[in-house]
Structure formats: C-alpha cells, structure tokens
Amino acid sequence: MVRVPSAAKKKAQQTKEQKSQARLHRKELWCSIDAERENYNGAIVRLAQGHAKSRPWVAMQLYSGGKLLAAARRKNLYNAVLHDRALKRKEQGLTGSGREALISLSQEVSMSNWKNLLKDEEERILAQLESSRQEKAAIKKMPMKKVAYDIEKTMSRIDPELLGLSQRTGCQYLSFVMRSDVTDNWTTRTSTTSKVTEACMQLFKNTPEEMAMKIEAYLTTRLAGVIKATGGKRSEVRAAITKGFHDILLSKGSINKDDLPSMAWAHYEKLVCTYGVELRGWTEPGPVCNPGDFKTIHQLEHLHAALQGDEPICHWVELDDTMWEARKEARRISILNGTMKQCKSRGGITKSGRGKGPCSAETIDDEDGGEEMPASMPENVEGSAGRSGVMN
C-alpha cells in the first residue's frame, strides 16, 4: 500500500477587513509609543537640566527602576522578648504543642515587665533576634535556565547605583561577576571607573577585564586545590631531603649540629664532593635539583612517594673512599673541560647582581666564591681547586 503524503497545512488567510483592522491597530500602537517616547525624553531633559546631571545618567536611572532593596522591617522589642523566651523554653525542653504553646508564651510575655528592660539586655535580645532571622533567611534558588537573566537584571540595577554613588561622592569602585563553573551559562561582567582601570594597568599590568578572565579561569579549573596540594608536597619533599642530608652528616660524626650546612640545590655536586654523601634513588632524569623547579605535579608526586616508607627508594648514602675520590676527579675534569652542569639557582636577581651584564658561557664559578674566570685557563682552575680542598 502506497502512503500518499498529506498536503502541508496552510496558514489561515485573513480577510481584507481583518488586514485593515490590524494595520489600524499597529498605527495606533506606534502613535502611542511615539507620544510616550516624547514624554520620556522630555522628562530626561528636564531632570538633567534641573539637577545638573548628564542625560545618559538620568536615562539610566529611569530605566533601572529605582532603589535596589525594599526597606527592612523595623526591629520589634516585643517580638525579640518573645523569641528570647521561646529559646529559653527550648533549652529547658518545654517546647509545648503547636499554637497553644505560642498563645501561652505570648500571655506570659504580656504579663511581664518587658518594656522596662535594661539597655544592655534590650540590645542583646534584639541582636539575638536579628541573628536568628539571618540564619533562617530563605535563599531562593534560581533555575539554571533563568540564572543569566537574573544576573543581568540585578546588575542592570546595581551598575547605575554604583555610578551615581561615584558621581555624588567621588569614590572609586571595581566589581566582578564571574562564573564559578565551566557549565555556567552567563558571561563575566566587569564594572569599574577609569581611575581604577588606570591603577590596575600600572600595578598589575592588566586591565580589569583581563584580571576577571584570569580569576575566572582559576575558579572554573579548580586550581585552588591543586596549588594547595602541590605546595604542601613541595615543602614535604624539600624538608625530607634536607633532614636526610643532615642526619647522615651527623651520623658520620664529621660535623657538629650547630655547623650543619644548608641544602644547596644548585651546587649538589659540590656538596657530594665536599662531604662524601650522595642522594640515591632520584626519580627524575638529570642531576638532583630543587623540587620547586618541577614542571608537573606528576614529577612531584613521584619523588614524594620515593621518599616515603621505612626503607625509601630515594635516600642518602655515604660514599666509600674510592667512590668519593672518583666523584671528585670526575667533577674536576668536568670543570677543566667546561662541561660542568648544575641546576639553575632560583634566587633570581639579588642586590649584588643588579647592574651586572649577562654571564658569558665561557666562564665558570671560582671554587673560592670569588671572581669568575675564563674556562680556557685550566692552570688557574687547578690552582683554585687545590686551594678549596674539595679536590684533594
């Protein structure tokens, strides 16, 4: 059986009289709109001239709909006393039953001398009532599909108030409304004055809009927890390695507790050759370096796990004489050949380093901590190494 497709439904056609009537209604509508627009513009001009305000500002105030918040209810002393008595009854376990309890409590308060309370007691129970109202204030949850509209509506009323406040008082303001999740269906809003924008550019090298984008990225990507966890692990790793370094030096008995050296990450090989100890089980390729230089949290977690347990994989060991001499010799040859590599220091530019030009690739650090010398002068380096006592 062949199914014949039904003809598409046609829209009902209007008669000539209906079309004429619709045109007449539209004409009347636009005439009314034009008349009200003239009245509206006239009111804007009158208010702007009468109160020395700009026309855009007056138009914004008329559009925004007036004050933001409804007047709060005035605190009532009788209600505060009633609330205080109810709390005391609740603490005593005398909750009563339904409306009868409220009637009984009201009669009790009415017969008391509640109007002649001491000033301190009156302030206490009024503050208690206000605190209870704030705790129990109902928070109206907005459906997700209406959130963007609610934000737009609210901010369209707040922005004119902030603008008016700034013009009346000369105060400056900066406000952000941004998303807290990547699924939120509204856009970031930024409201600020020109002076605050200029200050942000001078202090933070970013406009308020750029700052809002960065803050929103921090919020939506959940970086707070990652940064907190990373910072904690980084501190634990550095502390564990430094503690192991000090413990093995004390166990050797070659140094006093008061003379323990700091963990110089950038000069790890120098520490090895000076004290004859080595950190074994380093989890990352390359030389031992500051865990703060790790680029990913995976590297930090890997090293953190290697330092845990009764017999950690990453631990300090004492070198025997043969290995110690071999490390000294290897470091001496690396210095002579100019191939000595070490982790970069994280100290940045110090006061003593300001004003100096960039360090040449053909120079190395003197072992005495003195001036830098060209790598092409091995005889001077040997002399320096001999004076330091490291290469002996």
pLDDT in tens, 265-314: 888 888 889 888 999 889 888 888 888 788 777 788 888 888 888 888 89
**DSSP strand E in the chain: where?**
174-177, 189-192, 277-280, 315-318, 363-364, 373-374
Tens digit of each residue's pLDDT (9 = 90 or more) over 151-173: 888 888 899 999 989 998 999 99
Please state the φ and ψ torsions of residue 134, each to the nearest 5 degrees: -70, -35
Identify which has the larger pLDDT, 73 or 238: 238
Burial of 300 (0-12, 13-18, 19+ CB in 10 A): buried
Mean pLDDT calculated for residue range 9-34: 85
Cβ neighbours of residue 287 closer than 8 Å, sequence gap 6 or more: 268, 269, 341, 342, 343
Among candidate residues 85, 80, 86, 91, the one with its CA nearest the CA of residue 130: 80
Distance CA 174, CA 149 (A): 22
DSSP character at residue 181: S
| Mean pLDDT lowest among 43-57, 257-271, 349-363 | 349-363
Res. 375: pLDDT tops 50: no
Burial of 28 (0-12, 13-18, 19+ CB in 10 A): exposed
Mean pLDDT calculated for residue range 324-345: 78
